[in-house]
Every structure is written in C-alpha cells, then in structure tokens.
Amino acid sequence: WRASRRLELVRIRELLRLGLPAALQLLVEIMAFTVTAILIGRLGALALAGHQIALNVASFTYMVPLGIGSAAAVRVGHAYGARDSAGATRAGWMAIFFGQAFMFCAALVLILFPKYIARIYSPQPEVISMGAKLLMVAAVFQLFDGMQAVVTGALRGAGNTRTPMMAHLLGYWMIGMPLGAFFCFKLGW
C-alpha cells in the first residue's frame, strides 16, 4: 500500500516498446489463421471440416512448445539480466531442442495415425478422409510452428519483440497468405 501511485513514463514507454510488437505479432498470427479459415470456407463444407480437424489437433500439440517458449522467455530473461550470455544461449538452444523433439514426436503420431485421429472428430468417411489428408500437412507445418513459438519466447526473454513481429508479418502476410491463395484459387491446388 505504500508503493508510489504516480505514473512513471519511462517504465510505461519501456512496457509499450516491448509489449506493442508482441501484441501485434499475436494479432498478425491470429488474423492469418482466421482469414485462412474464411478462405477455406469458400471451398465447401467438407474442406472446412477437414481444416477444422487439422487445426484443432495442431492447436492441441502447439500448447507444449508454447509453454516451452514461455519457459524460454523466463530462463533467457534471467540469464540475460544476469549478463550471462552463455547461459542465455544455452537456455534458448535447449528450449528449441525440447520443443522440436516434442513436435517431431507429435508429427510422427499424425503421420502414422491420421485416420484414427480424424475419426475422433467425425464418423463420416468423407470428413475422415479429408481430415486425415490435412493432418499430414499439419504434421509438417507444426514442426515450424512449434519452433517459432519457442524462438519467439526466447527472443522475448532477451527483450527482442520486434523480430518475431516482423517475421510473422513477412511470413504470414507477405509470403504465406498470397502464395496459399494463389496455389489454391488460381492453380486449383
């Protein structure tokens, strides 16, 4: 109760310097997944059902590297604050290793058992088939998505929130979305 209640503009500016790019990075990522679902809806109910299965499963497995990324932010931040660059580097690389190891195992499960997983979501053979095909894509995609979650956490621990924001903006909106729309709607893939 004795803490100062006056605004400290220097601290507020520092919070905004770190927080705004992190918030924009999340916004850019969430918007990309939302727009993708809307675009897939143009392909019909079956494609959208398969997409929902793959996205739900990938979101489930994504929680582990997201947690590892949060832990990396703390460990890297502690080491960075203690001016222990070797410790920060070690924490970052170990987080990447464990995140990728988990996502590799999850990808293996998706590749080996896609129809069994899709059957959890629907008894319809067409939906199972579409979901199983998209789970194979999700198996590959999640390796990279898991890594970006861990690396983003490690960079946040080092106080770098702009690089992940720019990478997401470039990767999702300048490369991924235009290429995906081109391949799908122009080339019919």
Residue-level pLDDT, tens digit, the chain, 189 residues: 788 788 889 989 999 999 999 999 999 999 999 999 999 999 999 999 999 999 999 999 999 999 999 999 999 999 999 999 999 999 999 999 999 999 999 999 999 999 999 999 999 999 999 999 999 999 999 999 999 999 999 999 999 999 999 999 999 999 999 999 999 999 998
Residue for token pair 């932010």: 73
What whole-number distance in Å separates Cα of residue 39 and Cα of residue 51? 11
Cα–Cα nearest to 158, from 114, 63, 110, 93: 93
Residue 4's pLDDT is 79
Residue 100's pLDDT is 97
Structure tokens at 91: 């924490």
How many beta carbons lie within 10 A of that of residue 189, not counting itself? 8
